[in-house]
C-alpha cells in the first residue's frame, strides 16, 4: 500500500506536459482563426448578394379571373433590365388546397422595359388563385420558334 509521501514528487507538468501553448503561439492561432472567420463571412455575403440580389427580369401579378372550364386568366406586369432581350415567365394556378393545378410558360417578346401580358391557364380542377412562379431570359426552344 502506498501513501501520499511515497508518491512520485515530480510535478504534473513534468509528468503530463503543459496544457497550454505559449502566449505567442496562442495569439497567432487567434489571428488565423479570426482571419478565416472574416473571409468566410465575406464569401457567404458575396454568394448571397449574387444569388439573392435583384433579378434581371421579374413579374408581378396584376389581376386574375376565373374562366369557364377549370381555367383562369392571369394578367402580369413584367419588368426587365434589358428590353432588347426576350424572356419567359412561368405562371401557375392553384386549387383550394394550395397545390399547383396548372402551369404555363409565357413568352415575353423584346420591346419595352415594362410589359403587361395576359394569358389563360388550364387547371386539372377548379382553380382559386393564380400567381407568377418566376421569369428568365433562358427561353425554351419550343417557345421561340413560330
User: pLDDT digit string (tens) for 94-125?
Assistant: 999 999 999 999 999 888 778 899 999 999 98
- The 10s digit of each residue's pLDDT in 56-83 is 888 999 999 999 989 999 999 998 888 8
- The 10s digit of each residue's pLDDT in 21-30 is 666 777 888 8
59 exposed, middle or buried (CB, 10 Å; 0-12, 13-18, 19+)?
Answer: buried
- The 10s digit of each residue's pLDDT in 35-52 is 999 999 999 998 888 777
User: Would you state the pLDDT for residue 4?
Assistant: 56
Fold of 57-143: Immunoglobulin-like (2.60.40)
Q: Do 120 and 143 contact (CB within 8 A), yes or no? A: no
φ, ψ of residue 21 in degrees (nearest 5) = -80, 155
Cell numbers for 49, please give them. 448578394
Domain boundaries, the chain: 11-54, 57-143
pTM score of the predicted model: 0.62
Amino acid at each position: 500500500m502506498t501513501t501520499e509521501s511515497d508518491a512520485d514528487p515530480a510535478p504534473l507538468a513534468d509528468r503530463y506536459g503543459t496544457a497550454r501553448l505559449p502566449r505567442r503561439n496562442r495569439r497567432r492561432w487567434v489571428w488565423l482563426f479570426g482571419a478565416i472567420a472574416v473571409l468566410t463571412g465575406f464569401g457567404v455575403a458575396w454568394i448571397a448578394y449574387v444569388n439573392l440580389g435583384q433579378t434581371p427580369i421579374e413579374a408581378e401579378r396584376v389581376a386574375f379571373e376565373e374562366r369557364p372550364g377549370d381555367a383562369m386568366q392571369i394578367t402580369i406586369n413584367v419588368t426587365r433590365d434589358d428590353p432588347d432581350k426576350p424572356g419567359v415567365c412561368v405562371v401557375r394556378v392553384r386549387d383550394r388546397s394550395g397545390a399547383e393545378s396548372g402551369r404555363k410558360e409565357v413568352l415575353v417578346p423584346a420591346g419595352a422595359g415594362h410589359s403587361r401580358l395576359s394569358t389563360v391557364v388550364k387547371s386539372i380542377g377548379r382553380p382559386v388563385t393564380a400567381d407568377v412562379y418566376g421569369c428568365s431570359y433562358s427561353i425554351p426552344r419550343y417557345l421561340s420558334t413560330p
